[in-house]
Amino acid sequence: MKQCCKLGKRIILANMKGLNFFLNFFFPILITVAYSSPIFQPGNCNNIDDLINGDDAHKTKLISSFYKSYLNNEVVWGITQWAIFQSADLEKIISTIGDTRLAPISKHRQIMNFIDVYLQGYSSKLWFYCIRIEDWGYVAQYLKCIDPKFEGVCPNPWSGGMVEPHDLLATTISNIFFEGDCNTRDELIQGPSNETSLIHAFWEGHSEWEENTWNFFKLFYLDPISGVISNDAYSAQEKHAHIFLLIKDFLRAELEDNSWFTCLHIENWGTIADYLNCETGDKEYTCQLQTSLHQ
């Protein structure tokens, strides 16, 4: 019984840093979104063409809403989430809207295809589905209009005219409390290297790093790690072994406390410490909060 309680404490404390960060930075934004949004009616599928009509594709309701969602903090975009979307998929959507050869229904279908491909890299898609399209509705409604079989939703967007903040909080927090399962670690390096959960963990967390440290890591370690993941000549086990050695070498250069690195969160899985410990077979690597628990 005591062991069970201690294990529960370890899991909670090990993730407290991520929870504190969420509460301090993201939750106030979610609360603002929830209580500042005006009342909307569900998106009317009969007028979705209005969302992409206009002489300038950049000024259409759909495209303007994407930009507003990021610039006005209407939803919580991760740093790389917006950068990837803007540089590739958003440009394709703008080009599609401006293509006079396509009928509106063809444009909508292509737009949905671009969005589907983009979101395949993320297990949680709530932030995107809840992007508000001016006074029309939400992206989830837009996609549902295009494909009636679409199942994505923005939770309770019309419950009293507001998104319930506890729904958003519960969904976001559910991604924090994980203790890495070594039996599923292969999933962290599956797919194109830049879209893997492991690489995303580094990109999503690097905003908290010192700039010189990030530049050093990216050049000498992150790029080689991506290369290892992309190398089909390696088995999954060999990839993990090479990645472990690269990270171990980086941590050796960080002589001071490196819990800021080992506590990086890997979405829906665990932490970098958990990932490294899968290779060592013990608890050699810890987050700072985990370490203090054992003292």
> What is the rounded CA–CA span in Å between residue 254 and residue 257?
7
Shared domain check, 216 and 130: no
Task: Domain of residue 240: give its range.
Answer: 179-294
Shared domain check, 146 and 241: no
Contact, 50 vs 38, CB < 8 A? no
Contact, 225 vs 243, CB < 8 A? yes
SS3 152: coil
Q: Is residue 101 part of a domain?
A: yes
Q: Which of 111, 128, 161 is the last residue of a domain?
A: 161
Place of tokens 């050695």: 245
Indicate the angle between helix axes 104-119 and 139-146, nearest 10 degrees: 120
Low-confidence winner among 77-81, 143-147, 267-271 (lowest mean pLDDT): 77-81
- Following DSSP, what letter does each residue of 154-188 receive, concatenated? -SSTTBTTB--HHHHHHHHHTTT-----GGGGGGG
Shared domain check, 50 and 84: yes
Q: What is the mean pLDDT of the chain?
A: 76
Q: Is residue 11 part of a domain?
A: no
> What is the rounded CA–CA span in Å between residue 11 and residue 53?
50
Question: Taking residues 107-131, what's their average pLDDT?
Answer: 88
SS3 122: coil
DSSP 8-class letter at 271: E
Shared domain check, 239 and 157: no
Shared domain check, 254 and 154: no
Shared domain check, 256 and 209: yes
> What is the rounded CA–CA span in Å between residue 228 and residue 233?
9
Shared domain check, 205 and 97: no
**pLDDT by residue (tens digit) across 24-38?**
544 444 444 443 444
Q: Is residue 71 part of a domain?
A: yes
Shared domain check, 190 and 290: yes
Shared domain check, 123 and 231: no
Q: Is residue 143 part of a domain?
A: yes
Q: Which of 126, 161, 196 is the last residue of a domain?
A: 161
Q: What is the pLDDT of residue 292?
A: 31
Total domains in the chain come to 2
With 0.85 as the threshold, say if the pTM is over it.
no
Shared domain check, 185 and 134: no
Q: Which of 135, 161, 187 is the last residue of a domain?
A: 161
Per-residue CA distances from 58 to 66, 93, 98, 254 (Å): 10, 10, 9, 45
Q: Which of 120-129, 151-160, 211-220 has the highest mean pLDDT?
A: 211-220
Shared domain check, 156 and 52: yes
Q: Is residue 12 part of a domain?
A: no
Q: What is the pLDDT of residue 56?
A: 92
Q: Is residue 280 part of a domain?
A: yes
Q: Is residue 174 part of a domain?
A: no
Residue 96 has pLDDT above 90, yes or no: yes
